Amino acid sequence: MNISKFFRLSLGVWRSQRTGHNHELSHVEDLQSTVTASPLSLDDPQLLKCCRNCGIDSYDTSSPYRVDEDYEARFTHWEESHSYLVIPVPNPDNANQGTLFYCYLDLDLQPSRGTYELGRDGTLMLKISDENTVRDDRIWFPSANLRLHVSTIRPSDRSVTTTTFTSNVRTTPASSFPENKAIALQR
């Protein structure tokens, strides 16, 4: 598998179940969500704005996409929605490694920047750091319609404080998206 195929597999509508544990607070979360991942054309206005904010050219990206998530906590019935862009920028000499940007569309947050590497076994490994935290993620596909994701988050100067496990089951394939949006996926 290569990185373009990995990101194409991520497109579509997914039903997601996430379980997380904050070790410091002894708090457990149990969230369900619907995740919609839609491909972006390289001239998409939101993509262009985010690329300007991150100091990158949209034509240096590969397979950028938008994610819309609708969350619901099972026990508290808390609900929330968020949208963000996922923007991979591959290394010129090895596309299976590169920089990954998350640009939040509905939160007043600076874009997150990290690195990605696609392992030989098809596992995507992410490392996202800022001045306060380090996040390590592993994402893989046991099958085309099942995606698994584990994550650890820790303050930059301490041990792991939060762990999560997420399973995603595809409900709508990426092929249901209009053809004109696939321009960004041809790279």
Name which of 12, 43, 4 is nearest 180 in CA terms. Answer: 43
User: Which tens digits make up the pLDDT trace of 119-160?
Assistant: 999 999 999 987 788 899 999 999 999 999 999 998 877 777
pLDDT higher than 60, residue 185: no
pLDDT band at 186 (very low <50, low <70, confident <90, very high): very low
Distance CA 20, CA 4 (A): 29
Distance CA 3, CA 13 (A): 20
pLDDT at position 44 is 94
pLDDT band at 174 (very low <50, low <70, confident <90, very high): low
Angle (nearest 5°) at CA 127 between 124 and 130: 155
Name which of 80, 86, 83, 85 is nearest 106 in CA terms. Answer: 83
Q: Which residues contact 29 (CB under 8 A, 6 or more apart)?
A: 18, 19, 20, 21, 22, 73, 164
Q: Are 102 and 111 in contact (CB under 8 A)?
A: yes
Question: Going from the N-terminus, what domains does the chain have, and what CATH number goes with each?
Answer: 3-186 (2.40.128.20)
Token pair, residue 180, equals 């004109």
Distance CA 124, CA 149 (A): 9
Strands 94-104 and 79-91: antiparallel
Token pair, residue 43, equals 């001239």
User: Which tens digits make up the pLDDT trace of 84-104?
Assistant: 999 999 999 999 999 999 998
Q: How far apart are the first and last CA of the chain?
A: 15
Distance CA 68, CA 33 (A): 10
